[in-house]
Structure 1
Amino acid sequence: MYVRKKKNRSGTISVVVVSKSSGRYKEIKCLGAVNTEDEAQSLCIEAQKWIHAHGGQQELDFDNNKDRELEETERVINNMDAVLINGTQLLLDRIYDDIGFSQIPDDILRHLIIARVSQPASKLATTEYLKSYYDEDIDLNNIYRYMDKLYNTQQELVQQISVDHTRKILGGKIGLMFYDVTTLYFETAKTDDLREPGFSKDGKTAESQAVLGILVSEGGYPLSYSLFNGSQYEGYTMIPMIDDFKQRFSLGKEFIIVADSGLMNNTNVNLLRQAGYKYIIGARIKSESAQVKKWILEQTHWENNCCHEYKRNYGERLILSYSATRAKKDAYNRERGIARLRKAYKSGKLTKQQVNKRGYNKFLEISKDVEVIISEEKIAQDCQWDGLKGYITNTDMEADKVIAEYNGLWVVERAFRISKGTLEMRPMFHFTERRIEAHVCICFVAYKVYKELERLIKEKKIPLSVDKVLDIAKTVTTIRVKMPENGRFYTKTLFLTDRHRAIQPLFDLIDQRK
């Protein structure tokens, strides 16, 4: 037993006799409450006499004693229930809810998204990560069952939530809508209705693949996606997806479609026009009519980044721009290519060894060498196009605005780079269509969470990238202590280093919402 003084909320000081047994403290006798330290000291003397009279061993007053400090520390440690390295969970949980994904009642999706953003891995490794760092016990079979459910019932809701949130942060309307496609390969050559060999953007010629089309808004916020057969020509994916997107989410004509020239052909342009869409698309200026090409090459008084316009049919404009930087790059690339040609064909002969072995070329035989020359005339003709870039639009935007909006296509490329690289969307190891679709859906949601974190970092003016913030958050620790007397837990998230404190404003937002 020992004497303990404690300050009450009313400002008085209580003096009590306390005992400890099995790590628990019990109040034996209260000597009273007083207002001053002198009065408290008098009660402490009485308490010491009481302990002596009742055969107890008098201990020190630990309120002002180092031994008391040690025992209190030991008591807290002994009652510590868990130490969680859960900084990313706390941070991404809040973002997940703010976007609106909490409308989906399954916590498994939440866990899969947080793990995908913070530590992308296989589904088996994900279960181990969740248990080790967040104390979340998720069975692998439950994950697979949930993926089947996600495919059947929740994909549509996921995309609706993403569209609604994007509209909100963009002021109520979509505005620009960028479209592009990429390919996702599988670690197998097996094929089915979805997985087929085709032109791979990852250079994976032996594996089967699927084609992924994605729509993103200005700023790169994901709106919708679709999967297509791996052999599908990418130019045929755009119109069906845009039509479907507009119908599913009841969009009017609030958006302008921006797409690369590689996706455009006469059929696609006609369909865009007939559907009444506004668009900005890359022009294939070397494939224009002889009249248009003549006009292009007549524009001889170039200044850096200047623009010229050519009126086309159906209210379209061809906007032509010139960039000295682009011209320098075009010339450099051509010179490198020609240097390789000169080295490869310095003999003036094309031999069998110089025919590539790709595809069915392996069946070709060359009985005699073929004479080849490098055409200086064609080189000179190509030089005339250095630095030129064309854009086709049916909007009434100023030319420089059209060019700026088209250049925003990089946000789609970045979306693919983050999804396929940072979030490890591919290679895929699922082999049923429903789980392939579910895996892509999980990565889509993860990218949405990633982009929202990026927006909040900029909003809080934290001079760090998303990946750097996540790396720091992975070292933020939360302690959980059990309070034996009332059976509750006390938790505290610790920001112990300067790196932790640099990202603490993001966690302060969490506290403000509690």
Structure 2
Amino acid sequence: MRLGYSRSKYSISYYAQKTIYVDGKNKSLIVTRFGSEKYICETYGVKDAKAWAQHQVDLMNQAEKEESGEILIDLSPSKDLALNQQRLYNGGYLFLQDVYYSLGLDKICRAISKKHNFEFNLNSIFSRLIYTRILYPSSKQGTYRDSAKFIEQPDFDLHQVYRALSVIAEESDYIQSTLYKNTLKLSPRKTGIIYYDCTNFYFETEQAEDDKQYGLSKEGRALPIVGMGLFMDAEGIPLSFSIYPGNHNEQPTMIPLEEKLLTDFGMSKFVVCTDAGLSSLSNRKFNDYSGEDGSRSFVTTQSIKKLKGFLKEWALDSKGWYLSGQGVHITYNISELDEVNDKDKVFYKSRWIKENGLEQQLIVSYSIKYKNYQRKIRNNQIERALKAIEKGASGIDHKRPTDCKRFIKVDRATKNGEIADQSTYYLDKEAIRNEELYDGFYAVCTNLEEKAGAVVKINQRRWEIEECFRIMKSEFEARPVYLQRKERITAHFITCFIALIVYRYTEKRLGESFTCKRIIECLKDMDFVKHEGKGYEPVYTRTELTDELHKEFGFTTSKEIIPIMKMKNICAQTKK
């Protein structure tokens, strides 16, 4: 191979080419295009684009030469290993690195670096924060230590990691909005329907300060928490997030973040889907908008228990139901359904209501399968409640709406009304009967003039945003949080947020055919033993997943040994 170039009026572009023999004639074949002189200098941080391109051609020639022959490795049972020499390296991060660079995160880091006066390599630190969050989640000190596991070694110190966190937090809005615009260059984003939800993360400290405040923890832990609000598109890829104090109500968090989507992201027309906890009147009215600059609509789950009396009566009435997908010509009485033959059918009814100046469509669905699911969950909770009664039902005064202790009732007075020395605990059968009234029913409200089936289908995808939170909390171990400074806490969640985006795009490249746990474990297990001066020997098991990774990302590491120059070439390829 040799270096080639082409000139235009304003620039010069470089590429690698080689001569091939076709139909009795020599022809030049362009193997790789490196880009224009300006692009090379800006993307790879070099001053001499031609020299950089020539070096890449040399690497490709060396790798091609090494691949053409066998590599002999001499090992002796009498020879000691070199002292303190690292031999095992992870190469699974290279697939994440390919996604990281395709999202333009390196350019975002370079733009931020130009604005601030620091000497450390922000791109190197930021990328390692993301790779380790996915593969080796731990503290920031652990991130610095685990960065040395990768084939490409870190070029920064621990104190620079902490300094970088402050910069990352300061540029949070810029990172989120620019990253969104970069994703549009890869493929169109499905933002016609977006999903919003909130969760919280606890801290390993008892000191409440700044955003760390005592609130209603999702895990029920008596520790300070911060809340996170997250927007996600219809494909399960995060859009934007915000952090708020743990003792604040989550409902007012949606509109400010939504306004950022309108201003910073340039989004103007979408449907917001939320759960009942975020369905306040102000949130609904904000998304009941249509104008020259765009339109907004909403779909939100609705608690049937909280409906007005006449609407609740209508929703629970057994008559006047339609079968999903069949039209509105035949009505059904759900009290007459067959538990076996009608188990998989979904029935619905809808009506328009107007309250507090807002018109919206109330859609209620019913299915036997959902009813049986709810009763199965409740029966398990009742069993736990009975066991709690046997043990004395401690903490009965602090029960949550979904806690099994909501089915436990307590008497603390004698027949004469005196204060009892002992409490009597028993199963609250009336509470159980009241809950059973709503089994199988599910309601949503919307200002869309769509058919009920289409609206219900939109709402059914809310599970994906719940999965986003589960991945952050479980696979990425985003909590507990050990950081103290507010800006470093923000940077921690930016890292988790972008790690989730990088993972989602990796998952999409694989056709969403593998589970999150399997993908991460596979990448984590892709280790290599380095033979100095020879190459990298894979010590992982080749599987259909590793083959799919190599197929989709365009490079292969499942050979018996990867020569040194070939591995350098692969590393460079993932950064294009």
Indicate if the aligned counterparts of 1:86 and 1:478 stay in contact, CA closer than 8 A. no
SS for the counterpart of 2:144 is: helix
RMSD: 3.7
Does residue 208 in structure 1 map to residue 224 in structure 2? yes
Indicate if the aligned counterparts of 1:91 and 1:507 stay in contact, CA closer than 8 A. yes
1:335 is displaced (CA, Å) by: 5.0
The answer for the alignment partner of 2:396 in structure 1 is: 356
Distance 1:173 1:355, change over 3 A: closer
1:267 is displaced (CA, Å) by: 3.4
The answer for the alignment partner of 1:94 in structure 2 is: 98
Deviation by residue 1:195-238 (Cα, 9 ceiling, x = unmatched): 11000002112x11111111111121011110101101112222
Q: 2:261 aligns with which of 234, 245, 252?
A: 245
1:426 is displaced (CA, Å) by: 1.0
Q: How do residues 88-127 of structure 1 correspond to structure 2 at under 5 angstroms?
A: 88-103=92-107, 104-105=109-110, 106=122, 107-127=124-144
The answer for the alignment partner of 1:330 in structure 2 is: 374
Matches of 2:72 and 2:137 in 1, distance apart?
41
Distance 1:150 1:325, change over 3 A: same
Give the partner amino acid of 2:440. G
SS for the counterpart of 1:467 is: helix
The answer for the alignment partner of 1:128 in structure 2 is: 145
SS for the counterpart of 1:395 is: coil
Does residue 498 in structure 1 map to residue 542 in structure 2? yes
Q: How do residues 157-306 of structure 1 correspond to structure 2 at under 5 angstroms?
A: 157-167=174-184, 171-205=188-222, 207-253=223-269, 255-273=270-288, 277-300=296-319, 301-302=333-334, 304-306=345-347
Matches of 1:292 and 1:195 in 2, distance apart?
40
Matches of 1:245 and 1:436 in 2, distance apart?
23
Matches of 2:126 and 2:458 in 1, distance apart?
35
SS for the counterpart of 2:396 is: coil
My pick for the range that moved more, 405-414 or 121-130, is: 121-130
Runs of 4+ aligned residues of structure 1 deviating over 4 Å after TM superposition are: 69-75, 80-84, 165-170, 333-346, 352-355, 364-367, 369-382, 478-482, 490-497, 509-514
The answer for the alignment partner of 2:450 in structure 1 is: 397
Distance 1:166 1:312, change over 3 A: farther
Does residue 410 in structure 1 map to residue 475 in structure 2? no
1:475 is displaced (CA, Å) by: 2.5
Give the partner amino acid of 1:142. Q
The answer for the alignment partner of 2:528 in structure 1 is: 477
Give the partner amino acid of 2:246. G
SS for the counterpart of 1:257 is: strand
The answer for the alignment partner of 2:493 in structure 1 is: 440
Distance 1:223 1:371, change over 3 A: same
SS for the counterpart of 2:221 is: coil
1:157 is displaced (CA, Å) by: 2.8
The answer for the alignment partner of 1:25 in structure 2 is: none
Matches of 2:500 and 2:191 in 1, distance apart?
18
How high is the sequence identity, in percent, across the aligned residues? 24
Does residue 138 in structure 1 map to residue 182 in structure 2? no
Give the partner amino acid of 2:165. M
Distance 1:496 1:412, change over 3 A: closer
Give the partner amino acid of 2:522. I
SS for the counterpart of 2:146 is: helix
Distance 1:343 1:260, change over 3 A: same
Give the partner amino acid of 1:443. C
SS for the counterpart of 1:312 is: strand
Matches of 2:510 and 2:136 in 1, distance apart?
19
Give the partner amino acid of 1:405. I
SS for the counterpart of 2:131 is: helix
Give the partner amino acid of 2:95. L
Indicate if the aligned counterparts of 2:211 and 2:226 stay in contact, CA closer than 8 A. yes
Indicate if the aligned counterparts of 1:307 and 1:319 stay in contact, CA closer than 8 A. yes
Kindly name which structure, 1 or 2, has the bigger radius of gyration based on alpha carbons.
Answer: 1
Indicate if the aligned counterparts of 1:167 and 1:173 stay in contact, CA closer than 8 A. no
Give the partner amino acid of 1:305. V
Matches of 1:216 and 1:70 in 2, distance apart?
50
Distance 1:284 1:464, change over 3 A: closer
For structure 2, list consecutive stretches of 5 or more residues without a partner in the other structure: 1-18, 20-68, 76-81, 111-121, 320-332, 335-341, 400-410, 557-569
Distance 1:270 1:151, change over 3 A: same
Deviation by residue 1:61-81 (Cα, 9 ceiling, x = unmatched): xxxxxxxx9996559xxxx99
The answer for the alignment partner of 1:465 in structure 2 is: 515
Matches of 2:285 and 2:172 in 1, distance apart?
31
Indicate if the aligned counterparts of 2:197 and 2:465 stay in contact, CA closer than 8 A. yes
Q: 1:388 aligns with which of 437, 441, 444?
A: 441
Matches of 1:89 and 1:71 in 2, distance apart?
25
1:191 is displaced (CA, Å) by: 1.4
Give the partner amino acid of 2:284. V
Indicate if the aligned counterparts of 1:239 and 1:272 stay in contact, CA closer than 8 A. no
The answer for the alignment partner of 1:431 in structure 2 is: 484
1:180 is displaced (CA, Å) by: 0.6
SS for the counterpart of 1:277 is: strand
Indicate if the aligned counterparts of 1:285 and 1:390 stay in contact, CA closer than 8 A. yes
Matches of 1:198 and 1:237 in 2, distance apart?
15
Matches of 2:289 and 2:148 in 1, distance apart?
54
Give the partner amino acid of 1:401. A
Q: How do residues 50-89 of structure 1 correspond to structure 2 at under 5 angstroms?
A: 73-74=73-74, 85-89=89-93
Matches of 2:266 and 2:372 in 1, distance apart?
46
Indicate if the aligned counterparts of 1:158 and 1:445 stay in contact, CA closer than 8 A. no
Q: 1:148 aligns with which of 146, 162, 166?
A: 166
Q: 1:309 aligns with which of 350, 355, 362?
A: 350
My pick for the range that moved more, 448-457 or 287-296, is: 287-296
Indicate if the aligned counterparts of 1:130 and 1:137 stay in contact, CA closer than 8 A. no
The answer for the alignment partner of 1:19 in structure 2 is: none
Q: How many residues align?
A: 422
Output the TM-score relative to the length of structure 2: 0.65
Matches of 1:118 and 1:342 in 2, distance apart?
42
Indicate if the aligned counterparts of 1:213 and 1:237 stay in contact, CA closer than 8 A. yes
Matches of 2:448 and 2:106 in 1, distance apart?
38
1:93 is displaced (CA, Å) by: 1.1
Distance 1:494 1:344, change over 3 A: closer
1:472 is displaced (CA, Å) by: 3.0
Distance 1:387 1:85, change over 3 A: same
Distance 1:495 1:294, change over 3 A: same
Matches of 1:353 and 1:477 in 2, distance apart?
54
1:293 is displaced (CA, Å) by: 1.7
SS for the counterpart of 2:510 is: helix
> Greater share of helix residues, 1 or 2?
1
Give the partner amino acid of 1:140. L
Indicate if the aligned counterparts of 1:88 and 1:114 stay in contact, CA closer than 8 A. no
Q: 1:368 aligns with which of 419, 430, 434?
A: 419
Indicate if the aligned counterparts of 2:91 and 2:150 stay in contact, CA closer than 8 A. no
Deviation by residue 1:94-132 (Cα, 9 ceiling, x = unmatched): 110112212122221112111211111111122221124
Matches of 1:401 and 1:147 in 2, distance apart?
43
SS for the counterpart of 1:316 is: strand
The answer for the alignment partner of 2:63 in structure 1 is: none
